[in-house]
Structures are given as structure tokens and as C-alpha cells.
Chains A and B, each alone.
Chain A
Amino acid sequence: MFTAVQVMRGYRQLGVSARLTIGMSILAALVLVVGLISLTLGPVDIPASHIAWIALSSIGFDVPEFGRTEQLVIDQIRLPRIVVGAAVGMALGVAGATMQGLFRNPMADPGIIGVSAGGALGAVVAIASGLTGLFFLALPVFAFVGAMGAALLVYGIAVVGGHFSMATLLLAGVAVNAFLGAIVSAIIIVLPDNAALREILFWLAGGLDSRSWEHVRTAGPLILGSTVLLLLLARDLNLLMLGDDEARSMGVRVGATRVAMLLAASLATGAAVAVSGTIAFVGLVVPHTLRLMLGPDNRVLIPMSALGGAVFVILADTVARTIIQPAEFRVGILTAFVGAPFFILLLIKNKRQVYSL
């Protein structure tokens, strides 16, 4: 009888292709199962058979009758929400794995260079000004602009004088995070409207309510594009983790690669934050947990973090929208509630196996 630890050790001794094939198959299947379960759950009672008929009819099969409302609930409400959840989880997982690798710090997450704080500021401005009620997508657009603006500002500070420094980047991230957080607090304090205040707090807690295909179309290509780029650069990230000189000697264009990875991770996170608010812990917990299980090879870790993040967010959102239905809970609160204790448990159990990056 093999223990889980023995199985994971055996897995880590396999070649990259085998590890990728096995791991991706398992996680892809998990995404599918969790997605299907999520599709069957919600305040409107839709039998699983009707969902199957709806799916079959959409690809041309002749099926028994089902309700028009049932079809619209599946097509227009549940499915886009699940897809957005998967995309957000994928973005946060990939960006988290990349940041942890780039900073050689297992506690790094996508917010470290100000992306989340910038997104929060953009969203808060949109809500406080009342634009969110007047223009569809005002909130994601503002959040995205804020997220990317903050990331570029931090990066700009780190390259002042023509020399890029990771230490400066990290410290600039801390400063910009604090500065943007202070602006958000100032807006919250001077805002007289209680409803807007409540909405800001809700957005900051992260959520996937009322996500539509528009949100998929808005954030999806950015997340997909940046994820593909980060997957292509995974090997270079492995080399960068050995040190700049070693990476350079192996043919990596260190500066350009690092900038590309930072921008791609920021882009993925900014797009995710724009459509979901700040969902806590995914970018930290998912890559870190997978690293403990699978090892530090980014060629495996980054794609697995993409799928792991998707599973985690879909699952959390399913619980969030069904646990007190027809009311809803915030998915960002749930990810922190579940993620933090799980993360601590994992750290305690694997104290000796935690990889120092």
C-alpha cells in the first residue's frame, strides 16, 4: 500500500512530459467535474437531465422539451459565471506561480507589485463616482486601468536610472500598495453614500455575481494570452531561479524575459481583478500547495497552477452562490476562509519539505 507522500515522490521522479500528461489530465478532469457540478446547482431548480438536453440541443441533437427559462439560466447566468471563475482562477494561479518564481519567494503573490491595490483604486473610483450604474463594464475597465497603471508605476520606479533591480521592484511595490491603499481609505472616509460604501467593501471582498459573456469576452483573451506567454517562458523562469549569471550563460535574455514575465503576470492579474474584484489567497495558496506536492519545476507548476486555480475558484464560487441561496456569499471571503487554514495545515505538515526557492 502506497502512501500519498510515496505517490508524490514517485510522481516527481517522472519526466516532464509524463508529469505534465498525468497532472494535467487529472486537473483537467477535475475542472470538468467541478464545472458540471456547479452547472447543476443554483436557486432555480433545473434537473440534471434538462441540463443534458440543453447541452445536446445546442449542438443540434433532437431532445425532449425543456423550459426556455432553464435554458437561459444555464446559457446566460451559470455558464458564463463558471467560465469567468475558471479564467480568474487560472490567471491568479499562473501569476502567483510566476511571481513566486521571479521573486524566489514562496510568499509572493500577484498583488506584490501593486496590481490588486491599483485595481481596487480603479474600482473604488468607478463606484464612488456613480459611473458603475450608468455604464456597463465601467467597473472592469476602471479596475483594469488601475491595475495596469499601478504595475507600470512600480516597474517604472524599479528601472529608474536604467538599472532594473528586483529589490527595488519589491520595495516600490510595498510603497505603491500602501499609497494606493491610503487613497482608497480616503475615498471611503469622505464618501457619504452608504450604498456605495457597502458596494466598495463588497467589491474588495471579491465576487463573481452577475458575470456575463461580456466579461468573458473582456477578460478572457487577456488572461489566455498572458497565460500562454507565461507557459512559453516557464523554462526560462526555471533558469532565472538559478541566478542571473547562470540564466545568461544558458542563453536567457535575463532583462527582457523578466520584464515580459512581470508584464504578463500583471496583465493576467489585472484582467482577473477587473472582473472579479480582489479574490484573496488563490494566487498564494494554489501555486504554493502544488509546489509542495509536485516540486518546483515551473514547466509543470505553471500549467498545473492554471488548472488548480480554476478548480479552486469554481468550487469556492459554487459554495458562495448556493450556501445561503437565493442570497449569496462573497467568493473572496470563502477562498480566504478555506484557503488560509488549509494553507497553514499544509505548511505545518510539510515543514521539512517546503521548497526554498
Chain B
Amino acid sequence: MLKSRMQILTLGIVLAVGVLVAACSGDGPPSVPVREQPDQLAERSLAGVRGIVDPNNSGWPRSVEGLNGMVSIPAKPERIITASIGHDEITLALVPNERLVAVGEVTKILTYSNVSDLVQDKAVITRDPETIIAEAPDVVVTSPFYPAEGIDALERAGIAVIQTELIQTPESRINAILLMGYIFGEEERAWEFADEIQARFDALVSVTAAKESKPRVLALTQYSDTLWVAGADSTEGGVIDAAGGINAAAEAGIQGNQTTSLEGVIAMAPDVIVIAQPIEFGAEEFRQSLFDNQALAEVPAIKNGAVHVVESKHFTTLSFWNIRGAEDLARILWPDDFPDPPVATFSLAE
């Protein structure tokens, strides 16, 4: 009996020491966000998030550094406009739907938008700043393509305008979510959502990073007669990287989205071709034309029937939705590792 009590005591001490050692072994916050309990989420540090001026300031007013300079946001914005489709997609993941008060026309179109079903009843804005001012937003987030004159007009109307760029590296993707969450006063939700995105990305990379032989993938589209490929630093290129492929166009020295010729396709000799082009813009016809063209018969992707029409808005969006593109592509490249369809959507803010 005594021996038995001693065993229990010893086991208890060992467990306690083990827990203590485990608790003390962490060196500060982890570089990749780790899922935590909701009440702990808001306390995670925003240090290192580009654009946030003072990560310790969780009150109002708060300042962010946009492409248009330092911007002070006086209070938690209730009426938000994010004047690009990529920004709209992120915003709807971070704030309740009703706080996004208006969108551009493109965000409503199913062909191009991953959130079209969520915005059908919203007001429409254009590049004319008056259409934005008419919606009386507290804050406007724009892409780098919104004109400086427009930003000036909005600022003179007393609206806080932050111009940010969406870049599709894994790190920048998380940064955009955390920065926009901070702008909207939704840090807790931003951390939660960043974890969700990171987890889906990690689930891909944990499989694809270990692959020794990676297929060479060419993102190819044809609008009218012109052939386009996506090279290094393109959105589609980021999707190919995330899915564990080698971007054949980037390997050939192509930067961004460029035109090429059929001969260029032959020279790049991809193992897989993905056509990220809307069906209504002739994606299936283009796919068939590649198989019908005898000059392409020796291209590995053609020879092996590895030409796939994919959901273009998953590949071309500048928001986190291109994780879906990477998941779609990973299923094509590694069917044994990803037998099941990816989760169709992402969580929304409540």
C-alpha cells in the first residue's frame, strides 16, 4: 500500500516537473501563430506586423502606415469600404457583413469574386470618390491602383484612407489579415482567421515540401489570340509554389504575367498546364485547342493529358482565397496525398 502511494507520489512529481519544463521551454511568441483560446487571442503581440505603428496601442485613436503615409483612425470604424475585390474578400472574413457598406461592381460578379453571394444587396462604388463619400464610410482601404487624387478627395471629406498592397507570399498574406483586423478594431478575429489560413497553408506545405521530385507547372490562359503565362511574383505563381509545383514560366525567366507564343510553351515544356480562365471566356475550348495542335504533341503536359481547367478566381485573387487555388492544384499534382476535396469555403466573422 505504502509502496503504491510512493509510486503515485513519484509519478505525480515527474508529471509536475514535466509540465513545468514544458511550460518554461517556450522562447517568446511563436513565429507561426498557434491556435489559442478566444480570450487569449487579443493579447497576442502584433509586433512585426507591417503597417501597424504602435503594436501596443489597442485603443483609439490608432495609427497605421499605408502606402499613402501615416493615417490616424479616430475610432473603431463601423462603416467600412475596401475598394478592391481582394480587400473586400479579406474584410468579409474579419467583420460582420453589415459593416462593409459598399463594394465595387466586380465584387458582385460570380465569375471574378469569391464573395459575390455575400454582397449582392450592397451599394456600388466606382473610382469616382463621390460614390464613396455618399456611403459615409468611417474608413476606406484601397489598393495601390486607386488614384492619389481620389485619396486626397476622400481625406478632405474627413475619411481615414489607408492604401495597402496585397502580396501573395505566405507571410504577406497573414500580414494583410492582421493589419486589416487592426484597422477595423478586430484583432481577436484577425488572429483567429490568420490561424485558420495558416493551418490550411501548413496542411499543404507539410505534404508538398517533402516531395523530392516536383512537377513543372505552367499557368497558361488565352484571351482572344494572345497566350498569357504567369511567371515569378505573379498571383498564379504563388499558388503553384504553395501547391508544391515548380513554376515553369518563372524557371524560364518570366517575371509577372507576360504574353508568350505556342513556341514559348513548347520551349518551357511543362509537366502540367493549368488554365485559370473563366469557362465563359473559352477555357474549355482553349484546352481542347492545345490537344488539337500537333506542334504541341511532344509537350509533356499534352502528351500525358495533364491540362486542367481550374477555377480562375481561386488562382487570380489577391486575397487568402488563393489558398483554395493551391488546394485545388495540390489535388491535381498529388492526388494520392489529397484524395478529398478541400473545404469549400472559409469562416466568416460573426
- Residues of A with Cβ closer than 8 Å to B? 42-45, 68-69, 72-73, 76-78, 123, 126-127, 130, 132-134, 138-139, 192-196, 198-199, 202-203, 207, 209-211, 321, 324-328, 330
Stretch at the interface among B53-61, B147-155, B175-183, B257-265: B257-265
Q: B227, B267, B277: which contacts A210 (Cβ < 8 A)?
A: B227
Judge whether B222 is part of the interface by a CB distance below 8 angstroms.
yes
B residues 260-278 in Cβ contact with A at 8 Å: 260-268, 277
Max chain A CB contacts within 10 Å: which of B226, B265, B293? B226
CA distance A42 to B265 in the complex (A): 11
- Taking each of A132, A198, A327, which has the highest tally of chain B beta carbons within 10 Å of its own beta carbon? A327
Supposing A69-B297, A72-B295 touch, asked if A132 and B264 sit within 8 A by C-beta, the answer is no
Do B225 and A324 touch (CB < 8 A)?
Answer: no
| Other-chain contact of B254, A133, A138, A327 (Cβ < 8 Å) | A327
Please give the distance in Å from B182's CB to the nearest CB on chain A: 29
When chains A and B are docked, how far (Å) is the Cα of A191 from the Cα of B225? 19
Known: A192-B112, A195-B277, A199-B224. A73 touches B295 (CB 8 A): yes
Chain A CB within 8 A of B285 CB: yes
B280 contacts chain A at the CB level, 8 A cutoff: yes
Contact of A43 among B109, B263, B280, B297 (CB under 8 A): B263
Determine chain B's interface SS by DSSP, over half rule. mixed
B295 in complex: contacting residue of A45, A69, A193, CB < 8 Å: A69
Determine the residue in chain A with the shortest Cβ distance to B264.
Answer: A326
Collect the chain A residues with CB atoms within 8 Å of residue B98's CB: none
Q: Which of B8-39 contact A (CB under 8 A)?
A: none
CA distance A45 to B258 in the complex (A): 21
C-alpha gap A208/B49 in the complex (Å): 46
Cα-based distance from A196 to B280 in the complex (angstroms):
12
B191 interface hit (Cβ, 8 Å): no
What residues of B have a CB within 8 angstroms of the CB of A198 in the complex? 223
Q: Are A132 and B224 in contact (CB under 8 A)?
A: yes
Kindly supply a per-residue 1/0 record for chain B positions 153-189, scoring 1 wherever the CB is within 8 Å of any chain A CB and 0 otherwise: 0000000000000000000000000000000000000
Within 8 A of A (CB), among B213-229: 221-227, 229
Say whether B225 contacts A327, CB under 8 Å. Answer: no
B281 contacts A209, CB within 8 Å? no
Taken together as a complex, chains A and B put the C-alpha atoms of A183 and B277 apart, in Å, by: 27
Assess A139 versus B264: contact at CB under 8 Å? Given A72-B294, A76-B295, A326-B252: no
- The 8 Å CB contact of A133, one of B105, B109, B111, B286, is B286
Min CB gap A130→B, angstroms = 6
A196 with B223, Cβ < 8 A, contacts A43-B264, A134-B285 known: yes
Which residues of the partner chain B approach A194 to less than 8 Å between Cβ atoms? 106, 112
B224 A207 Cβ-Cβ under 8 A: no
| Nearest opposing residue in chain B for A76, CB measure | B295
A73 contacts across to B, CB distance below 8 A: 263, 266, 295
Are B229 and A327 closer than 8 Å at their CB atoms? yes
Residue of B nearest to A133 (CB): B282
CA distance A134 to B229 in the complex (A): 20
Distance (whole angstroms) from the CB of B44 to the closest CB of chain A: 36
Contact flag A78-B263 (CB < 8 Å), given A192-B106, A326-B268, A327-B258: yes
Is residue B130 contacting chain A, with contact meaning CB distance below 8 A?
Answer: no
Tell whether A139 pairs with B267 under 8 Å between CB atoms, given A130-B280, A195-B281, A326-B254.
Answer: no
Chain A nearest CB: distance from B144 CB in Å? Answer: 15
Since A193-B111, A326-B268, A327-B231 are in contact, a sample of 5 more A-B pairs with Cβ atoms closer than 8 Å, ordered by chain A residue number, is A42-B267, A133-B223, A210-B225, A210-B261, A330-B259
Looking at chain A's contact residues, the main secondary structure is: helix
B121 contacts A by Cβ under 8 Å: no
Given A68-B298, A192-B109, A196-B281, A133 and B260 contact (CB-CB distance below 8 Å): no
A44-B282 Cα distance, complex, nearest whole Å: 27
Could you list 27 A-B pairs, sorted by A, with CB under 8 Å?
A42-B261, A42-B263, A42-B267, A43-B260, A43-B264, A43-B266, A44-B266, A127-B223, A130-B281, A132-B225, A133-B277, A133-B283, A193-B112, A194-B106, A194-B112, A195-B223, A209-B225, A210-B222, A210-B262, A324-B258, A326-B249, A326-B263, A327-B229, A327-B264, A328-B259, A328-B260, A328-B264
User: Which residues from B are CB-within-8-Å of A134?
Assistant: 282, 285
Contact of A69 among B229, B261, B266 (CB under 8 A): B266
Cβ-closest 4 pairs across A and B: A133-B282, A326-B264, A43-B267, A132-B224
Contact B224 A133 (CB under 8 A): yes
Cβ of A326 and Cβ of B280 under 8 Å apart?
Answer: no
Complex Cα distance, B280 from A76, in Å, reads: 28
A171 to B285, CA, bound (A): 44
Q: Which of A69, A123, A132, A203 has a CB less than 8 Å from the CB of B298?
A: A69
A187 to chain B, nearest CB (A): 14
Nearest A residue to B268, CB-CB: A326
Most buried by A among B225, B260, B277, B282: B225
Residues 227 to 271 of chain B near chain A (Cβ within 8 Å): 227, 229, 231, 249, 252, 254, 258-268
B223, B231, B281: which has the most chain A beta carbons within 10 Å?
Answer: B223
Bound complex: CA of A196 vs CA of B312, how far in Å? Answer: 14
Bound CA–CA A193/B281 (angstroms)? 10
Interfacial chain A residues near B259, Cβ < 8 Å: 202, 207, 209, 327-328, 330
Contacts of A68 in B (CB 8 A): 297-298
Nearest residue (CB) in B for A75 is: B295
CA distance A77 to B265 in the complex (A): 12
With a cutoff of 8 Å between Cβ atoms, the chain B residues found around residue A324 in the complex are 258
A contact residues around B280 at 8 Å (CB)? 130, 133
Task: Tell me the smallest distance from the CB of A137 to a CB of chain B, in Å.
Answer: 10
Q: Do A199 and B226 contact each other (CB < 8 Å), given the known contacts A69-B297, A77-B262, A209-B261?
A: yes
Q: In the bound complex, how far is the Cα of B297 from the Cα of A131, in angstroms?
A: 27
Bound complex: CA A139 to CA B222 (Å): 13
Most buried by B among A133, A198, A207, A210: A133
Q: Which residues from A are CB-within-8-Å of B109? A: 192
A134 to B223, CA, bound (A): 10
